[in-house]
Structure 1
Amino acid sequence: MERDSVDLLQPLWRALVVFRLITWVFACFGVWSRWDGIVRPSGAVLQLAIMGIWTVISSIGYSRRWGRRNTRLAFADLIVTVGCMYATLLAQPLVDIRGGASVLTSVWAAGPVIALAISRGRDGGLLGAATISLVLLSLRGVENASKILANVQLLLVAGLVVGYAASTLRQAGARLREAIAAESATAERLRLSRSIHDGVLQVLAQVQRRGTAIGGEAVELAQLAAEQEVALRTLMSTRPVVAEGDRIDLCGLLLPLATTRVDVVVPAGQVLLPAAVAGELVAAVKEALSNVDKHAGSQARSWVVVEDLGDEVLVSIRDDGTGTTPARLEQARVDGHLGVSQSIRGRIADLGGSVMVRTAPGEGTEWELKVSTA
């Protein structure tokens, strides 16, 4: 049997293969035990032969990747099973079946219900159960509907339970794949970090020290070396951007913003937000940092701090620049400078969050952006 890297559904497929084989044997035993009551025994033998051949074919398919990944086999299984159920008419007249004679497929007919539940989840299981139930009803007749109620209930329960289990395992498999990928990326990042730290970072640090000591034009070279050292350290410390469904880790998006003048401080764990919310929040942070570059002074430093408050996330952007006054911020909005009113306040307001700004001449500026994690 081919092996998938991470396929938690394999045990279910293997159980289905065993189920088809065992129920075919049960169907054969049922025909043998009722042999004297079968009107046309040759028709029963032909039906069992077809069921046996299809059991082998479907079992081989469900034991291979192509059979598990492609739902066409499960739908083909449903069609063949329906045909085998109607093939009971080769052995028993319809009037006898409606009079109480058994449908020779017996429990074997539940195979495609389980197959569709595994491959398509709850909806696939219900579709298979409804189809088999309708075929059974057409053979038994509406007047005997109460007699097949227990069979219909078992088919529906099987479709629901197996479908739910398959969907849950599929989601768990996706999370496991993401975890394995993140672990591999982290291990590779650590390996590269050791190599970079032992070589490139030490050279850049030496260039920075020597350039500063020499002075003159070498100072510019030292500044460039310092910037590249910070960029490399940020790259080494940045963790992979992890997504779970439609939610994404805000910290992984903010860490790359760190420079020689910008420090980014985030929690050790993930801070998951809806992808759209995280994107708008990062854009607002970038606009705040852009304002620092434009208005706070050439030597101003900034700090971005993320706090996970449970049902809310607080992002603070603080600088040690020249600062301003609330009145000047309001005047900038009136004059048509939309960086504050639209790119920051507008974005956060559209997310249903809140914005607070504290500033004073000579004391820098601090923004607090708060949004819901829901």
Structure 2
Amino acid sequence: MDLGASPRIGPYGFDPDQLLKVLPHRRQHLAHTLNKISHDTEANQRAGYAERVMATRGPDPTAPLWRAAQLFRLLSCGYALGFHIAINSNLQRPLLGWALFAVLIGWSAACAVAYLRGFGRRPAWVITEIAVVVVLMLSTKMVASAQWALDNQTWPTTLWASNATTSAALQFGPAGGMLTGIAVTATNEAVKGYVNVNLGRSATIVIELAVGLAVGMAARTARRAHADLQRAAQLSAALQERERLSRQVHDGVIQVLALVSRRGHEIGGPTSKLAELASEQERALRRWIISTDTDRDGNTRSVDLCALLRRRASDRVSMSLPGSPVTLTREVATELDAAVGNALDNVRLHAGPSARAFVLLEDLGDSVTVSVRDDGVGIDPGRLDEAAGQGHLGISMSIVGRLAALGGTAELSTDQGEGTEWEMRVPRREGSS
């Protein structure tokens, strides 16, 4: 990062050369800090891209299921071999039967290698397997008589044909697995020449549908669990990187800005404006650092109210917060924070140019109380009722209404020249801790 390029930090911009005239002896330190942050940010973006690529190419969460399916394939091939030895002498074309069985073994070996190595776990390969299974089942008409086919299962055996159902369920989910099971059953019925609706004599359709559904649901669950784990790992890595950058900003830039602000006010004159800008940037950076606390819980139902309120701290707003988190449901915490924001807006607009606000958060166990007090001009007696009568419902709608919607209360204490104090109380709902 070139210090002569007048970078902007936050919503304001200033010339770093003017800033460094105030503290020339910190020029090297500030330049080193800004350049390091810029370099680390670019490196982190490249690393983040690499992580996303690796996540896309990461391990298949269904790999254990694919391995188990190949063990089933091996056992089904053994069963098919025993069945073929037993019935081969009854076939019209026994030699053709052995030739087709060699195709069955060769294709089974190819599928096992493809699925174990991973390159076969794609739609084209699985669809090809389904087609091969259907063709081998239909070839029963070529090697056996119609009467034999009517009295027996197809020569590759229904158990071996179930491998296609298993593969489709792993690749396409329960719907794909069940549809393939229906296709296998339909092929078996086509070879016999009739549809057997007696499930007591032939439960092929029930078994195929059950296999497709069970294996497909297992694969879907594995993929969802893996996706959740990936999102959690990526969020954790992003938060750790942001916290690291936050510490770096705090140790470098914020300290320099604080020193510039203090020295600028001491020197006075033209540097006073620069000191004010530096002070504003310091507060903006501090709010950004604090915001990591709320971002951490972005995908959860609970929010730390302390983290939300800290972002409203400024030179004119002092915070008194518990040392431990005060967690509420996201809806309650967000609305309560908005009500506090409304009260602070009223201080800024109506309490006077030099008024200060003080925010106190108390965790009472079964309820949470936030007090917002200021040392401003206060409100004349009857002024709120008069404003409501004129149609100005800002306070009642923005503060009282918000708290009422949460099942809580908002009480105002004020008098002319005595400032104002809001006490907002909300009960803890189930799910808050």
TM-score, scaled relative to structure 2: 0.64
Q: Does structure 1 residue 294 correspond to structure 2 residue 349?
A: yes
Change (3 A) 1:166 1:371: farther
Structure 2 residue aligned with 1:20: 73
Query: What residue is the counterpart of 1:233 in the other structure?
Result: 286
- Structure 1 match to 2:149: 97
> How well do the aligned residues superpose, as a CA RMSD in angstroms?
4.5
Match of 2:168 in 1: 116
Given the alignment, which residue of 202, 207, 214 partners 1:148? 202
CA contact (8 A) 2:342 2:399 kept: yes
| TM superposition shift of 1:36 | 0.8
Contact 2:73 2:108 in 1 (8 A): yes
Give the total of aligned pairs: 363
Give structure 2 stretches of 5+ with no counterpart: 1-53
1:177-188 matches, cutoff 5 A: 177-188=230-241
Deviation at residue 79 of structure 1 after TM alignment? 4.1
Q: 1:320 aligns with which of 370, 374, 377?
A: 374
Q: Secondary structure at the match of 1:189?
A: helix
Supply the distance in 2 between the matched residues of 1:43 and 1:346 (Cα, whole angstroms). Answer: 85
| Aligned CA distance change for structure 1 residues 157 and 215 (closer, same or farther; 3 Å) | same
Q: Is the 8 A contact 1:257 1:264 kept in 2?
A: no
Matched, 1:201 2:258: no
Correspondence for 1:34 among 87, 92, 96:
87
1:48 matched to 2:105: no
Structural mapping, 1:164-313, within 5 Å? 164-215=217-268, 218-237=271-290, 238-239=292-293, 240-241=295-296, 244=299, 250=303, 254=308, 257-260=311-314, 261=317, 268=325, 273=330, 290-298=345-353, 299-301=355-357, 303=359
- The 1:157/1:264 distance shift into structure 2, 3 A limit, reads farther
CA shift, 1:173, in A, is: 0.9
2:215 pairs with 1:162: yes
Report the AA paired with residue 97 of structure 1.
A
Helix, strand or coil for the counterpart of 1:208? Answer: helix
Distance 1:14 1:264 in 2: 59
Structure index of larger Rg: 2
Q: TM-score, normalised by structure 1?
A: 0.73
Letter in 1 for 2:422: T
1:330-369 mapped onto 2 (5 Å cutoff): 332=387, 335-337=390-392, 353-354=406-407, 356-361=409-414, 362-367=419-424
Could you tell me how far 1:181 is from its partner in structure 2? Answer: 0.9
Give the secondary structure class of the aligned counterpart of 2:411: strand
Contact 1:39-1:92 at 8 Å conserved across structures: yes
Runs of 5+ consecutive residues of structure 1 not aligned to the other structure? none
User: Is 1:207–1:222's contact at 8 Å kept on the other side of the alignment?
Assistant: yes
Q: Percent identity?
A: 31
Cα contact 1:114–1:158 (8 A) shared by 2: yes
Identify which range, 11-20 or 301-310, moves more after superposition.
301-310
Output the CA distance in 1 between the equivalents of 2:127 and 2:365: 49
